[in-house]
Amino acid sequence: MEAPAPRSPGHPPWVTAADAIPVALLRTDASGRIRAANAAAVALLAWDADHLRGQALTDILPGDPPGPEAEARFAARADGTPCAVEARALRQDDGGRIVSLLPDDARRALERTLARVGAEYQTIFDAVPTLIWFKDRHNRYLRLNPAAAAAFGRPADQIEGHTAHDFLPEDLARRDHQEDLDVLRSGRPKRGLLLTLPSASGQPLTLQVTKLPSHGADGAVSGVIGLATDISERQRVTETVRRVAYYDPLTGLANRLLFSDRLERSLAAARRQGSQLAILVVGIDRFQLFNDGLGHSAGDEILRILAQRLSGSVRDQDSVCRLTGDEFALVAQGIEQFRDVMRLAQRLRHSLSQPLTVADRELFPSVTIGSSLFPADGSDVDVLVRNAESALHRAKEQRIDHAFYNPAITHRATAHLEVERGLRRVLERGELVLHYQPIFRLDPPGITGVEALIRWQHPERGLLPPSAFIELAESTGMIVPIGAWVIRTACAQIVAWEHAGLGRLGVSVNLSARQLQDRRLVEEVTQILSDTGIAPDRLTLELTEGTVMGTRGRPDQTLRSLKAMGVRLAIDDFGTGYSSLSYLQQFTVDALKIDRSFLAPVRSPGDPCPVARAVIALAHSLNLSVVAEGVENDAQVDCLRRDGCDQLQGYLLCRPLPAGELADRLADQQLPTRRLSR
C-alpha cells in the first residue's frame, strides 16, 4: 500500500489535529458525505484522501450510520476487499458525525494489552503495602486495596459504597471528610496528613496520608484518591526516644531537661503578658528512712504514688517534673499574689500527705515546699529553680511546711496561714463576737436600729477588726457559714433586747458577694426568721454597689426572693462603686447609705456637702430612705439635717459596742439623741 499523500496547507485544522491520532477517523456532513479523513483512515482504507472526500459514508461503511456504541462492521477498502472493524460515531452540532474505525485485529490486540495491563495493575494494587483507596465526590469509597481494608479493620465489600462516618470514630470521620472537601474544591493535592486509627491489637495505627484529586472524562474533579503509609512503628520508636530523653522512667513525669524547656516557654509568655509565675520545689520528708526500712522497690512505689497525686493536684497548664531522687518541681502560671502560691502549696501538702499502703504497711508521708517567684526572685530558669531549692532547704532547717525564697514573704505567709487555720475553727471555738452601732433617726430624734459588726476574739492576738480576716474568709469560702452566724446572732439579739423592754429595733447586717452566690441563702434566712421570731422587715441586708451590680442569674433571683419575703435591702457605701439607677428600682431597694468619705470635707458650721445632698435628693425621688454613716462632728449633723437626711450613725453619737454594754446604755437612756434635735 502506498503511503498517503501529504496534506496540503489548505486542509482544515481538524484534519491536521486528527492526523496525530492513531485511530481511523472520518468526518461527515449532515447528508452523510465524507468531508475529511485523517491519516490513519487513509492508511486503513487505502483510499486517496481526495477520493474519500465527497464519498457517501454508506459507500465506505455499508449499512446505517453507526451510533456511539461499538458495532462490529465491515468497511470497504479501495481494492474492494472488506475490512473487519469496530465502528462508533458521535453526532456533531451541525448534524454531521465523527466516525471511528478500529480494525478488528487491532481491537483484539488492544483488548489483550488492556487485559494484561489490568491484570498487572490488579496484582500491584493487591500486593503493594501502600494503602490505596478511591472515593467519589460524596465521600463514598468506590474501591480500595487489601492493605487499606486491613487498616480499616473490615473487608473491602463492607467499606465500598459507604462513607468514613459508617466505620470510623466520628471525630476522625469529620476530619477525613473535611480534608476530602479541601481537595475537591481546590483541585490540589494535600500531603503530609496524619490519621491515627484504633486497632484490634490495642496499638494505634498511625498513617501518613496523601490525597489527590481524581478527574473524570470531562476533566472536572470527580473524586479523591487516597494513598497512605503505615508509620506506626516509626512513631513508636520516635516516642520511645523522646521519653528516654525527656521523661523520668520511674514516675513518667517530665525530667529536669524537659521541665527547663517548659519553664523557659512559660517565662517567655509571662514576660509578654507582664504576669507572674511561681516555681515550687517539693521535697519528701524522711524519704531515706522509707528507702532504708522498706527497700528500694517500696521507695520506688512511694515515688510513683506521690508523682500521680502531684499530677492530679495541679492544673493542665502547670508543668510538673521529677527534679532529683526525692524532689519534684512544678511551675504555676497566672499567679497574682503570694497568697495564690500559699493556697497551692497547702493543696499539694494535703494531697501528698494522705496515707498510702506500700509493702503491706500503711505509711504517712509528708512534704516540705520551697517557692520562688518570677520576676521578683529571678528572671531565668536556673536562677529560679536554684532559689526555690534554697527556699526548700531553709524550710527544712526551720521545720516549717513552706518557705518562699524571700524571707519577708515567708514571714507574712506564715502569719497568713496561722490566721487561716484559726479562721476555719472560729465558729466551733465560739471566738466570733458582734458589736452593734446604733442607727439614729433625725426627725423625730431617736434610735431606730443597730448595725451588727463582726469581730474576732483571737486567743493570741486579741480583738481583731473585720479588715484582719474578712478578705481571707471570702477567699476561703468561710464567709458563708460566718455570714449565716452573724445574721442568726444579730436577729436573736434584737429579739432578746425587745423581750428585756429595750425597744423594738431593726438590725442591719452586711452581705458579701460570696454569700449572695450561695444557693442556700434564702432558705437559711427564712429559717433564721422562723427560729428567732423576728419580723422580716426588721432585718436589713446591706450590699455594696459592686455586689449588686455584679448580680446575674441566681444572685439576681436571690435578691428578688429576699425582697418578696419582706426583708429590707440597702446599698452600702453608695456613690463609691458603679451605680445603676435601673438596678435600684429593679431590686426595690429600701435605703441608700452615704459613704463617710462624702462627709469628711464638712468640718465647720455652714460647710456644704454637695455629694451628700445629691444622694439624698436622688434617694427621695425614688422613695428610698437615706442613712449617713461615719458622722463625726456637729457640723455634719447640721448639714445632713438641712439637706433632709433620714438617719445617721457614727462615732459622734455612739461607737460600735458589745451587746451587753449597748444594752446598758439603752436601759439607762444614755444614747445622745438630744444632739440630733438642735
Least confident of 38-42, 261-265, 434-438, 551-555: 551-555
385-398 confidence digits (pLDDT tens) = 988 988 898 888 88
- From residue 71, alpha-carbon distances to 55, 101, 105, 107, 375 in Å are 21, 10, 14, 12, 88
Packed helices 256-273 and 381-398: angle between N→C axes, nearest 10 degrees: 110
Q: What value does the mean pLDDT take over residues 185-214?
A: 83
Q: Is a pLDDT exceeding 70 seen at residue 630?
A: yes
pLDDT at position 124 over 70: no
Which percentage of the chain shows pLDDT scores above 90? 20
CA 396 vs. chain centroid, Å, equals 38
Kindly report the backbone phi and psi dihedral angles of residue 431, in degrees, each rounded to the nearest multiple of 5, phi listed first: -95, -5
Q: What is the pLDDT of residues 289-306, one digit of tens each?
A: 887 778 888 888 989 999
What would the grid cell of residue 2 be? 502506498
Task: Between 359 and 463, name the one with better pLDDT.
Answer: 463
Residue where the block lists cell 504514688:
305
How confident is residue 114, by pLDDT bands cut at 50, 70 and 90? low
- Domains in the chain and their CATH numbers? 13-109 (3.30.450.20), 128-235 (3.30.450.20), 247-423 (3.30.70.270), 437-454+479-669 (3.20.20.450)
The more confident residue out of 148 and 495 is 495
Residue 380 has pLDDT above 70, yes or no: yes
Query: How far is residue 567's CA from residue 578's CA, in Å, rounded to a whole number?
Result: 24
Q: Is the pLDDT of residue 490 over 90?
A: yes
pLDDT tens-digit series, residues 74-91? 888 888 788 888 888 988
Does pLDDT of 254 surpass 70?
Answer: yes
**pLDDT surpassing 90 at residue 151:** no
Query: Using one digit for the tens of pLDDT, what is the confidence trace for 395-410?
Result: 888 888 888 887 776 6
- In tens, the pLDDT along 413-466 reads 666 767 777 888 888 889 999 999 999 998 888 899 999 999 999 888 889 898
Is the pLDDT score of 475 beyond 70? yes
Query: Counting beta carbons within 10 angstroms of the beta carbon of residue 299, is it exposed (0 to 12), middle (13 to 18) or buried (19 or more)?
Result: buried
Write down the pTM of the prediction. 0.49
Predicted local distance difference test score (pLDDT) of residue 1: 40
Q: How many CB atoms lie within 10 A of CB 512?
A: 18
SS3 242: helix
For residue 115, what pLDDT is reported?
61
Query: 10 Å Cβ neighbour count for 32?
Result: 15
Of 314 and 475, the one with more pLDDT: 314
Q: How confident is the model at residue 8 (pLDDT cuts 50, 70, 90)?
A: very low
What distances in angstroms separate CA 201 from CA 151, 153, 456, one per listed residue?
12, 11, 65
